[in-house]
Amino acid sequence: NSVDCKVALYHHGDWFGEPVNQIKIIKKLPNEDLGIVYNFHHAHKQIETFPKIVNTMLPYLWSVNLNGLRKEGPKILTIGEGDYEMEMIQLLKDNGYGGDFGILGHIEDADVELILRANLNGLKR
């Protein structure tokens, strides 16, 4: 019985958060409509390998949630305040990524409107 829906694997750290492992899962279920949502706020361990894995991910990549990225953290950082997010966004675009970009209001103790505006401003810069 089909429910006619898609399922995206949400990149969230550990073994499951490694895109190569998510792709292995997707390949084991070839008759399912599966893809990947990649989150920059869980990508700190992949900063160095991102240029190598981006093309491997592209056929499965449906959405990328943006965040500022510094190797040393913090985990949640405004877009434009990191050292790697602009390079990673450009790499995705240069390699043909045509999916959606998302911005999360991921700070619990702050006004989400202010967080989203700061991220949009950082993205414009």
pLDDT tens digits in sequence order for the chain, 125 residues long? 577 888 999 988 789 989 999 999 999 999 889 999 999 999 999 999 999 999 999 999 999 999 999 999 899 999 999 999 999 999 999 999 999 999 998 888 899 999 999 999 999 98
pTM of the model: 0.92
Residue 92: name the closest of 121, 117, 63 by CA. Answer: 63
pLDDT confidence of residue 25: 96
Q: Which two tokens stand for residue 25?
A: 């899962």
pLDDT confidence of residue 12: 83
**Are 6 and 26 within 8 A, CB to CB?**
no
pLDDT confidence of residue 13: 79
